[in-house]
Amino acid sequence: MNFSGATKGHAVVTHETPANSTKRIKIPNVCIGLNVRFMTPYEMLRRERAKFVLGRA
């Protein structure tokens, strides 16, 4: 199965990293198996060019 068409322009954001474990399947492993893009929250913030501005109190 290939879900990349259904997720065009979208990505799964997770703190998990791929692992070779059969006891606990991690989100990035599922994304790899389904050909869905994934990234860390930090990558997402960089790509979105997020800026955190503190307002005056």
Q: What is the pLDDT of residues 1-44, one digit of tens each?
A: 555 556 678 999 999 999 999 899 999 999 999 999 999 999 99
**Contact (CB, 8 A) for 47 and 13:** no
The confidence score (pLDDT) of residue 9 equals 82
Backbone angles phi, psi at 38, to 5 degrees: -140, 160
The confidence score (pLDDT) of residue 43 equals 96
What's the pLDDT band for 56 if we cut at 50, 70, 90? Answer: confident
The confidence score (pLDDT) of residue 6 equals 63
